[in-house]
Structure 1
Amino acid sequence: MAITRYAALLRGINVGGNKKVPMAQLRSLIEGLGHQDVTTYLQSGNVTFAAGSGDEDSLAEAIGQGIADTFGFPVDVLVRDHAYLAAVRDDCPFPAAELEGKQLHVTYLSQAPDPERYAGIDLPGYAPEDFRLGDRALYLYAPDGLGRSKLAEQLARPAVNKGLIATSRNWNTVVKLVELTRPTP
């Protein structure tokens, strides 16, 4: 049986004291679902693991259900395999090597983004901030960081993301998740 390495990206946990999920319990939960080599990265909802069966959607659904059952609240979960995470890193339309990790972000999306969702955003009005769409991903260049980004506020509006699960990671985390999901020989 082939083993695949994945990252589970949890949206909105351990932010501002809400939806607290201790990492040790999260690792135990993922192991309890039958997955191996479980690692958490930071406290913000990044879990890597190895699985011998399942697809991204069924794995995400099982993890989300496990979190709801264990912690008593729903959490949106996206699961992506190493190949996808590496492609997102490699396809970055911005000069990542020249930027600080806090200046570049990827918002992982549950489905391919329809460019029409973003048509109403006056991109020149936010310059030098910029964004580009990728494969189930949105790349955001925010030179002053995400916390000060006016473009990020527009991109996060419920009307823009209606029907999507969207969760963002800074570039340092994007790169680290590729490393943590790399298949072991």
Structure 2
Amino acid sequence: MKKYIAFLRGINVGNIRIKMSDLKKAFDDMGFHNATTYLQTGNVVFESDKNISEIKIILEKVLSETFHYQVFVLLYAYDVLAEIVANYPFEQNEASHAYVIFVEGEAVSNELLSIAENVTEEISGGNTVIYWKVPKGESLTTPFAKITAKAKYKSTTTVRNINTLEKMLK
């Protein structure tokens, strides 16, 4: 059995409200094992014998039907997430947030990194992710934040704080 991390895009923002207990139950009902949710943003650690591409298809289909909205899932093997977290390139401090932007697709990642060349924020590319350090209180207002919030990236990106990711790996 292999351990995976699922990040659901857009949970508990806007009109999409899902209790984490309901999300955990949905994972259990789909036959996944040891599902644990973190925070209220659709972070789920679970185990499965299925391969990652098969899991993604199942999750997006069943969760969309269960919760009545188009679910977008970014899915990672547990060991891949551990590597992503370990490779965070910026010094962490109390004045800034340390974020990982999970990106599905090399074209989207390249597009965002190209745009990032024109901003003064600390941004660096990684393996299927973009690392981002932003001053506290500015996570929604910086030029790069406004770009990543555009509707065109809704299905292919999601942002998580490195502190949350570290807790998920424990």
From 59, 62, 68, the equivalent of 2:58 is 62
Bigger Cα displacement from structure 2, 107-116 vs 168-177:
107-116
The alpha-carbon deviation at position 120 of structure 1 amounts to 4.1
Matched, 1:143 2:135: yes
Q: d(CA) in 1 for partners of 2:98 and 2:104? A: 20
Structure 1 partner of 2:167: 176
Gaps of 5+ in 1: 180-185
Percent of aligned pairs sharing the same letter: 29
* Equivalent position amino acid for 1:38 in 2: A
What's the TM-score, normalizing by structure 2? 0.87
The alpha-carbon deviation at position 147 of structure 1 amounts to 2.9
Q: d(CA) in 2 for partners of 1:101 and 1:76? A: 31
Structure 2 partner of 1:15: 13
Question: Which secondary structure state, in structure 1, belongs to the residue aligned with residue 70 of structure 2?
Answer: coil
Matched, 1:115 2:110: yes
Of structures 1 and 2, the larger Rg is shown by: 1
RMSD: 2.2
Structure 2 partner of 1:92: 88
Gaps of 5+ in 2: none
Structure 1 partner of 2:75: 79
CA contact (8 A) 1:101 1:172 kept: no
CA contact (8 A) 1:130 1:151 kept: no
From 72, 83, 103, the equivalent of 2:97 is 103
What's the TM-score, normalizing by structure 1? 0.80
CA contact (8 A) 1:101 1:171 kept: no
Matched, 1:33 2:30: yes
